[in-house]
Structure 1
Amino acid sequence: MSKWTEKLPEAARDFIGDRRVDEVECIIGDIAGVARGKAMPAAKFATQKSYFLPNSIFLQTITGEWADNPFDAFTEPDMILEPDFTTATAAPWTADVTLQVIHDAKDQNGVLVPYAPRNVLRRIVDLYAEQGWKAVVAPEMEFFLTARNIDPNMPVMPPMGRSGRRAAGKQAYSMSAVDEYGKVIDDIYDFAEAQGLEIDGILQEGGAGQIELNLAHGDPVRLADDVFFFKRLIREAALRHDCFATFMAKPIAGEPGSAMHIHTSVVDSKTGKNIFSGPKGMETEAFLHFIGGLQNHLGAGIALLAPYVNSYRRYVPDFAAPINLEWGRDNRTTGLRVPISTPGGRRVENRLPGMDCNPYLGIAATLACGYLGLMEKRNPRPEFIGSAYIDSDEIPVNMGDALDLLDEDAALKAVLGDGFCKVYDSVKRNEYKEFLQVISPWEREHLLLNV
């Protein structure tokens, strides 16, 4: 085994075994959370000193267009990529022995690029560390398996199950519904095991072909890395069985949307104790301040939690998605839920992020708003009792409004990093402008001959 492979995590070394590594994929996540990078022979990876990518990858929109550079001319200078060997993991769906390694993006002076999403999350984690705290998160991933959709003009359809019938909706928690596409689930488990990724549980959600995958709690950056890897492996598992996996917030009309609920607690770095619980297990002021921060700043953070025009189709009343910033204990209708737990496990569940958000940025926005609450020490509104499926003017209704709210929240922008916010705004306004130029089937059907 060569020197560089000795730095790999145990799961990656087990995957290699006594085989020779053929290829290494040097990757980073862009603003959308898409894996960008270079693949190279393992022999070259072992000897190469530096890896480069242009910083323009963070200005690329989801359609492949380029947003305006908010800082200077569009000259595309190179960034230096530095491998984080703790992230090295298998790509078990490939024909040869391939590894993926997430890289840190630095400028040519060795400074972390402030608008790289992984670096944004690390910035927030460092702010907690400066206060003697450590954030702990547990994401939930919801996604749809669908029939292959090769014509964007056609509606997305549920997949065909092993029974020969299309997957049915309104079957939440049904084991037989999951069994309909059990071979895809089997491959997800196998790929995850090969990659050393831990799955806490898989269940059938309320939509036709909709699955929820839960991850065990842990370090925010590591869990964001895991979601980043899981999205790719789930897509690969689906393709093996002639279907698609999609993480769109609302891929099928009339079905619920897909969320990425984020459970968060904060522990004292020295004692390891949850600062949300006091000596007798009671809720602390810090717990209430964290919720207050979410209530006061998450409206502006929606721009990161709901990053596309489709994201706002999920925020509709009575469709299993909260459209409010209320909080409640064991209340799934509130945007901020406090689940049943022991005092040591006391946490807040942010139910607003869509599964289409970049995991680094969804977790970063959640932690940033909570951090501001801890620093500002503002209490939340009283707990909401009863059904909170109500209209709320705190939640923006479209991408443009969301970006305006983010631009107005100086405190949140300062925590996320002003440079990042400028890049994000440029990319997302470009995407929104492109969308507004598209004429939809609804417009053609109802307006063409009637107005």
Structure 2
Amino acid sequence: MSDWTSQLPEAARDYIAGRKPDEVECIVPDLAGVARGKAMPASKFAKQPRFYLPNSIFLQTITGDWADNPGDAFTEPDMVLTPDFSTASAAPWTADVTLQVIHDVFDQAGRPIPTAPRNVLKRVIDLYRAEGWMPVIAPEMEFYLVARNIDPAQPIMPPMGRSGRRAMGKQAYSMSAVDEYGPVIDDIYDFAEAQGFEIDGILQEGGAGQVEINLQHGDPVRLADEIFYFKRLIREAALRHDCFGTFMAKPIEGEPGSAMHIHHSVTDLKTGQNIFSGPKGEETPAFMHFIAGLQTYLPAVIAILAPYVNSYRRYVPDFAAPINLEWGRDNRTTGIRVPISEPEARRVENRLAGMDCNPYLGIAASLACGYLGLKEGKMPRTECLGDAYMNDDELPLNLGDALDLLADCGPIREVLGPEFCGVYEAVKRLEYKEFLQVISPWEREHLLLNV
């Protein structure tokens, strides 16, 4: 094996299994969580220790337009890409032996690019480490399998199951519902195994064709990498079976939206103990401070947790998505839930993030709120013991209002990085402006002849 292949994780070495790699994809997650980069023959990759991309990849909107850089002239200097071999992973859907490698991005002086989502998450984790803490997260990923949709003017439909009938909604936790698209699930398992990912569980959610995958708890950067990879492998598995995998927050009218619930705990770097639990298993002040941080700062990061106009279609009453900042023990109607657990696994679940968010940024934003709570030492509101769905809305209900809250929150901007926040806001305001220029079918149907 050559020097670079000896640095690969075990799963990637097993995938190669003595074969000669054909191609390497050098990738960087952009603001949307899209893989940007370049593919090259493995022989060239072996001889080239670093690669280059323009920093403008972080100024591109989801539609392909370009936002103005609020902090600099638009000169598009090259960034230096350095492979993180711990992320090397198979691309098992390809015809040849292909590996994907996530790259870290630096400027030409060797400083981390502050607008790179992976660097934003690392920045937040470094703040925890400076206090002697290490955050631990466990994500839940919800997504839809849908029928192929090649005409954006047509509504999205549930997929056809093996029974010959379309997938049905309101079948949460049904094993037979999962079996309807079993071949797709089988490929998801196979691809995940080839990439070295451990799935904690797969289940049918409440929507028609809606699936949830849970991942084991662990290091935030590693799990963000896995979600980034999972989105691609799920799409590829679906395409093999004539359907699409989608991570839109609300792809089908009348069906629930898709969330990325994030479970958080924090360990002491010296002892490895969960700081949310005391010596006798009791809840600690740090546990309450973390919850208070989420209650205080989540509104300012909704623009990151719900990054598109479609995201806010998930925040509607009676569709299993909390629209509040209440917290409660084992209460799924609250935006901040404390699951049942043993003291060593005591954790806080953020139920507000959508599956359409960039995993690096969504996890970073959620951890930023908890970090500020730990630093400020505030206490949360009284626990909600009833149905929090009945409470007043506490979140911004459109992208424009959410961006205003992000722009006005100094503590969050300082934790995530002022330069990142400026670029993120510029990109999202341009996307919002582009959306507002589109006339929808609803407007044509109800306003054309009636107003």
Separation in structure 2 between the aligned mates of residue 39 and residue 85 of structure 1, nearest angstrom: 16
Return 5+ residue gaps in structure 2 as ranges.
none
Deviations 1:195-221 (A, max 9, x none): 001100000000000000000000000
SS of residue paired to 1:300:
helix
Partner of 1:78: 78
Task: Tell me the amino acid that sits aligned with residue 277 of structure 2.
Answer: S
Task: Tell me the amino acid that sits aligned with residue 197 of structure 2.
Answer: L
The 5 A counterparts of 1:285-324 are 285-324=285-324
Separation in structure 2 between the aligned mates of residue 125 and residue 13 of structure 1, nearest angstrom: 29
SS of residue paired to 2:397:
coil
Partner of 2:399: 399
Correspondence 1:44 to 2:78: no
Partner of 2:340: 340
Correspondence 1:123 to 2:123: yes
Shift in Å at residue 35 of structure 1? 0.3
User: Greater CA deviation, 73-82 or 253-262?
Assistant: 73-82
The 5 A counterparts of 1:198-217 are 198-217=198-217
Deviations 1:319-370 (A, max 9, x none): 1000001000000000000000000000000000000000000100010000
Answer whether contact 1:323 1:390 (CA < 8 A) is retained: no
Task: Tell me the amino acid that sits aligned with residue 291 of structure 1.
Answer: I
The 5 A counterparts of 1:433-448 are 433-448=433-448
Separation in structure 1 between the aligned mates of residue 262 and residue 92 of structure 2, nearest angstrom: 28
Separation in structure 2 between the aligned mates of residue 442 and residue 295 of structure 1, nearest angstrom: 35
Instruction: Calculate the TM-score normalised by the size of structure 2.
Output: 0.99
Task: Tell me the amino acid that sits aligned with residue 76 of structure 1.
Answer: E
The 5 A counterparts of 1:23-422 are 23-422=23-422
Task: Tell me the amino acid that sits aligned with residue 424 of structure 1.
Answer: Y
Separation in structure 2 between the aligned mates of residue 427 and residue 384 of structure 1, nearest angstrom: 37
Task: Tell me the amino acid that sits aligned with residue 80 of structure 1.
Answer: V
Separation in structure 1 between the aligned mates of residue 13 and residue 397 of structure 2, nearest angstrom: 47
Shift in Å at residue 71 of structure 1? 1.4
Shift in Å at residue 385 of structure 1? 1.0
Task: Tell me the amino acid that sits aligned with residue 320 of structure 2.
Answer: A
Equivalent pairs, count? 451
Answer whether contact 2:50 2:83 (CA < 8 A) is retained: no
Deviations 1:299-330 (A, max 9, x none): 00101000000000000111100000100000
User: Greater CA deviation, 347-356 or 42-51?
Assistant: 42-51
Answer whether contact 1:291 1:380 (CA < 8 A) is retained: yes
Separation in structure 2 between the aligned mates of residue 175 and residue 2 of structure 1, nearest angstrom: 46
Percent of aligned pairs with the same amino acid: 77
SS of residue paired to 2:199:
coil
SS of residue paired to 2:288:
helix
Deviations 1:72-111 (A, max 9, x none): 2211110000000000000000000000000001001010
Deviations 1:206-244 (A, max 9, x none): 000000000000000000000000000000000000000
Answer whether contact 1:324 1:390 (CA < 8 A) is retained: no
* Runs of 4+ that moved beyond 2 A: 390-394
User: Greater CA deviation, 326-335 or 382-391?
Assistant: 382-391
Shift in Å at residue 394 of structure 1? 2.5
Answer whether contact 1:307 1:356 (CA < 8 A) is retained: yes
Separation in structure 2 between the aligned mates of residue 275 and residue 253 of structure 1, nearest angstrom: 42
Instruction: Calculate the TM-score normalised by the size of structure 1.
Output: 0.99
SS of residue paired to 1:139:
strand
Separation in structure 1 between the aligned mates of residue 198 and residue 23 of structure 2, nearest angstrom: 24
Deviations 1:4-33 (A, max 9, x none): 000000000000011100000000100000
SS of residue paired to 1:356:
coil
Return 5+ residue gaps in structure 1 as ranges.
none
SS of residue paired to 1:96:
coil
Separation in structure 2 between the aligned mates of residue 148 and residue 205 of structure 1, nearest angstrom: 20
Separation in structure 1 between the aligned mates of residue 416 and residue 50 of structure 2, nearest angstrom: 28
Separation in structure 1 between the aligned mates of residue 169 and residue 301 of structure 2, nearest angstrom: 31
Deviations 1:413-439 (A, max 9, x none): 100000000000000000000000000
Task: Tell me the amino acid that sits aligned with residue 74 of structure 1.
Answer: F
Shift in Å at residue 392 of structure 1? 3.5
Partner of 1:426: 426
Separation in structure 2 between the aligned mates of residue 392 and residue 59 of structure 1, nearest angstrom: 36
Root-mean-square deviation (CA), in Å? 0.6
Shift in Å at residue 393 of structure 1? 4.4
Separation in structure 2 between the aligned mates of residue 135 and residue 340 of structure 1, nearest angstrom: 19
Answer whether contact 2:142 2:355 (CA < 8 A) is retained: yes
SS of residue paired to 2:185:
helix
Shift in Å at residue 390 of structure 1? 3.1
Task: Tell me the amino acid that sits aligned with residue 319 of structure 1.
Answer: F
SS of residue paired to 2:389:
coil
SS of residue paired to 1:389:
helix
Answer whether contact 1:105 1:112 (CA < 8 A) is retained: yes
Answer whether contact 2:92 2:194 (CA < 8 A) is retained: yes
